[in-house]
Structure 1
Amino acid sequence: MTSEQTGGSVDKPIDWGTDTRMSPVDTVMWRGDADRNLRSTISMLELWDCTPDWDRLVAAHEWGSRMAPRFRQRVIEAPLQAGPPSWAVDPDFDLHYHLRRIRVGGDGSMRELLATCEQLAMTPLDPRRPPWEGYLIEGLPDRKSAYFLKAHHALTDGLGAIIALAQLHSPTRDPIPGKPQPPAPEVHEPSALDVLGTQLVEEARRVPRLAGIALEGVLSLRNPKRALSNVLRYGRSVPRVAGLVSPPGSPLLAGRSGSWRFAAFEVPFGSLKAASAATHASINDIYLGGLVGAFRKYHERNGTMVDAIPVAIPISVREDGDRGGGNRIAVGRLAGPVGIDDPFERVLTCREQVRAARNEPAVDVFNTAGPVLAWMPGQLLAQFSGTTAGNDLQASNVPGIPWDTYVAGAKVERMFPFGPLPGCAVMATMITHNGVACLGLNFDAAAITDPELFAECMVEGFDEVIDLAGDDAASLPRMTHLA
């Protein structure tokens, strides 16, 4: 928490994004940008109830970049692009470059706003600078405004982003007089040899852990049958986690173009919670059931039915002691049951598949293999970031901020997340912000060729799962398609 939230007198940088060396998983994402279709740009669109004073917004970003110095750091590549890069404060950090002010085109509608954000998200980040950009977007009706933040996924995962925003957003509209500010982080520009030295030190630190694993392996040989069973179980699990045994992609969604399109939906969280309670399923199960139901309806309307589609979900492997920045995720693989007509059965099927995915012996295989992958040449390493290219749907559900938040005096009314589109057909991300579930879809324009129909199917798919709330369903508010 910051002093603005606690009433303290001294601010200090938050414990977020403090690692000086990029993790192996983040390295795979960073180098995946070698293929333009695999760019890992994550985005957040906030809708604000007014247009803040520009100078105050600039000051808020200046303060935020001191509180979370990662926003002042750029990536220092390793020699020959082998091994994890390092993070270092950009000696030429220029907030004037990163924070921009634009006006939405046309009539200022939500559709025009999303079209602007699509174009911003598809524009690559400058790898020589801290990998983020923020945009104040004016020209919305009723003197409202929007804020669009884009960043490289190597900076953080979805949960890490919420951790940062929760600490950098203010709980009050009014400014805090005399608010202290930490000093700008010290600049240190590591050389290629410095980066290589850090790599070698980190690899040396891994030796005791590797020795411990080897010792465990030797001790396990006291029970050869059990050891062999564990090895075989792990070996059978790896292809499932890697997506090598997923169902084939739907022919209806086979097109790929690298062109991103955004859609935004919202539904009161209470409606999803009621369906969850009635079915004894989690909110995430209801969420997946609604998404899969939408895909079923889209296939029905197009006269092209399939039994299942390949789906990927992130599985958080964060632990209590992990810092907020970077990525702490594994991949879960599902066979999205679009062939199941009954929404209750569909939700329960999703629930069982998620449980199985979480319990895969090799669920964390990419984090385990990451230290080896990170030493591969850049072009070869980029191929591993494309393991999601065969997915028709990637879905993520991130807990949001459950209280009112403000930025430079503007109240955040909605937060719509848009994940990257690493070769898959549709990326769906949901954040629950202060009682409203905000769903952001990023889809390939060549995969979803009828966006309006797809949006209608999305609403109908979520209507189906909300109807599972039983007698209370008729009075529950439903999903709204904003654009």
Structure 2
Amino acid sequence: MSDATIEFPRAMGEQDAMLWRMERDRRFRSTLLSVTVLDAPPDRARFTAKIARMAAEIPRLRQRIVPMPELVSTPIWAWAEDFDLAYHLRFLRLGGAGTMRELLDFTAAIGRQAFDPERPPWEFYAIDGLREGPGGENGAAILWKMHHAVTDGVAGVRIMRHSFDLAPDGDLRAAPPPRALEPGEDADVARLSSEAVRERLAQVPGRLWEGARKAVDVARDPVGAAQSAARDLASLRRLLADMPGPLSPVMTARSTNFHVDAFQVPIAALKAAAHAAGGTVSDAFLAGVTGGLHRYHARHGKPVAALNASIPISLRNAAADSDVAGTHIAVARLALRIDEPDPARRIRAHHAVVAEARDEPAQAYSDVVAGVLYRLPLPLALRTYAASATKNDLVASSVPGIPAPVFVAGARARAFLTFGPLSGAAVNATLFTIDDMANVSLNADAAAVPDLDALVACVREGFDEVLALA
């Protein structure tokens, strides 16, 4: 996906619309949080100019979400006529001792606040006064809060690159003038609805062509087509099958409160450990997390063999989705064994089970399933979504990062922490690499995991065990 060719459709995609609608229940808010820890405060004027340029170049950052009748269209992205950069970009200073704990608690507090529905769903906070952590004694941080509907993790990295530089001097160009809006251009809901319908209808010829192509395939090979349809149907049944759970006997409670923490490990060591075990970096990351969760349950005197895990799988390899903004993922739902004591075997076992889930034909129907859920009556939609989402013990994501030094308005980034939404689970664990470090970020439901320090200590031990393979 190149930044210059990202498409920004008027209507939300089916997955984004479903997630947006599920937020009527606060447990299912889809807010993404990222914290870039810097070794010095960024130059205020340069950083302001950088974000102004980013907002001017990326249309979605100047658009708000307008609800539509579910049977007519998904919600619409409309230009925010009163867009005010000063609302979205704020400068502040930590008021206490400047600890990482203070920064992380502030991050969680900001994440719990709902977006203003009349404004584009993103906010930047430039935070001074950080006195410890990866940034050192004169550190700072950049907190970005963004709704998942703006984009998924993979494309989000590309958007975030507009705020980064690969050298201390960086790009000092001024922001181009934003797109001029006609008075009342996006105030007419009826016209917006018509535009959305026309946009959908424009997709019909392509779908008809695809249908015709499949019809030809059926005529050429009816037996093969029938077998393929049967495989897809069986896969869809597995995807939608009810799961017992949650499986954790410890992380059972759920709330609307969460807390976050993170740590770093050398990416070279994580790669070496993965290679030694015959897996990938994502497999090694997952093995570190599950090893930690096994220790956490043992510490509570309630060991468990497996946990329900949801693992997002990017669908952006498909050409049709590679340059379109929004969420383009499928979710692998599986019972993940965590009781394998050998870290190498655990890495290989995770690799096998995730690969099997990734190859399910039904993953291609994620948008269809989301569209059905979006159009159900709201009480039924919420009950259906909650019945599945709250059975998850863990959400685990590995996002490709930036394998080079990164600078923000002259300050060097020393850590990049990414906290994904819980979406009903007890814990979300996310891996993001930057330069030579792998950042492991944990978001935990405060009711499910009241002792976050204990969980972090256990997960650190799980990673120590994995890194010993290097």
> Does TM, normalized by the shorter one, top 0.5?
yes
The corresponding residue for 2:176 is: 182
3-state SS of the aligned residue for 1:339? coil
Cα 1:344–1:287, aligned 2, differ >3 Å: closer, same or farther?
same
Q: 1:208 aligns with which of 195, 205, 210?
A: 205
Distance 1:378 1:128, change over 3 A: farther
- 1:332 maps onto 2:332 in alignment: yes
User: Would you say the 8 A contact 1:102–1:136 is kept in 2?
Assistant: yes
Give the share of equivalent positions with the same residue, in percent: 36
Measured after TM superposition, the shift of residue 466 of structure 1 is 1.5
Aligned-residue offset at 1:223: 5.6
3-state DSSP class of the match of 1:28? helix
User: 2:347 matched to which residue of 1?
Assistant: 347
Q: 1:374 to 1:423 in 2, by over 3 A?
A: closer
How far residue 376 of structure 1 moved from its aligned partner, in angstroms, is: 4.2
Give 1:57's aligned residue: 47
Matched-pair contact (CA < 8 Å) for 2:25–2:382: yes
Equivalenced residue count is 458
1:431 aligns to 2:432 (yes or no): yes
- Report the AA paired with residue 150 of structure 1: K
What per-residue deviation string (whole Å, max 9, x for no partner) do you get for residues 51-97 of structure 1? 12333322222121112121111112214685212212200001111
The alignment status of 1:192 with 2:189, answered yes or no, reads yes
Gaps of 5+ in 1: 3-12, 470-483
Q: Measure how far apart 1:194 and its partner are.
A: 1.9
- Which amino acid is the alignment partner of residue 49 of structure 2? A
Bigger mean CA deviation after superposition, 429-438 or 396-405: 396-405
Partner of 1:275: 273
Q: Is the 8 A contact 1:331 1:364 kept in 2?
A: no
Give the residue type in structure 2 aligned to 1:411. Answer: R
Letter matched to residue 255 of structure 2: S
Which one of the candidate residues 146, 152, 155 is aligned to 2:150?
155
Work out the CA distance in 1 between the residues paired with 2:126 and 2:384. 35
For normalisation by structure 1, the TM-score amounts to 0.88
Indicate conservation of the 8 Å contact 2:36/2:416, yes or no. yes
Larger deviation: 369-378 or 59-68?
Answer: 369-378
Judge conservation of contact 1:137–1:147 (CA < 8 Å) in 2.
Answer: yes
CA distance in 1, matches of 2:7, 2:206: 24
With structure 2 as the length reference, what TM-score do the two structures score?
A: 0.90
Match 1:171 to one of 166, 173, 177: 166
1:117-152 CA-partner distances (Å, limit 9, x unpaired)? 110111111111000111111221123211111011
Closer/same/farther in 2, CA of residues 96 and 81 from structure 1, 3 Å limit: farther
Cα separation, 1, equivalents of 2:50 and 2:383: 39
Q: Structure 1 residues 143 and 244 mapped into 2: Cα distance closer, same or farther (>3 Å)?
A: same
Give the drift of 1:277.
1.6
Indicate how the Cα distance of structure 1 residues 286 and 312 shifts in structure 2: closer, same or farther if over 3 A, else same. Answer: same
- 1: CA distance between counterparts of 2:276 and 2:205? 49
Q: CA deviation at 1:259?
A: 0.8
Tell me the equivalent position of 2:314.
316
Structure 1 residues 437, 35: CA separation in 2 closer, same or farther (over 3 Å shift)? Answer: same
Q: Which amino acid aligns with 1:27?
A: A
Asked if the contact 1:44/1:416 (under 8 Å) is kept, the reply is: yes
What is the RMSD computed on CA atoms of the aligned residues?
2.4
* Match in the other structure for 1:18: 8
Residue number in structure 1 paired with 2:366? 366
Q: Which amino acid aligns with 2:326?
A: G
Contact 2:246 2:393 in 1 (8 A): no
Q: Which SS does the other structure have where 1:461 is aligned?
A: helix
Using the alignment, how far apart are the partners of 2:24 and 2:417 within structure 1?
Answer: 27
1:456 partner letter = A
Distance, in Å, in 2 between the alignment partners of 1:145 and 1:331 is 35
Aligned residues of 1:34 and 1:379 also touching (Cα < 8 A): no
Query: What displacement does 1:405 show?
Result: 2.0
Contact in 2 for aligned 1:313/1:331 (Cα 8 Å): yes
Q: CA deviation at 1:163?
A: 0.9
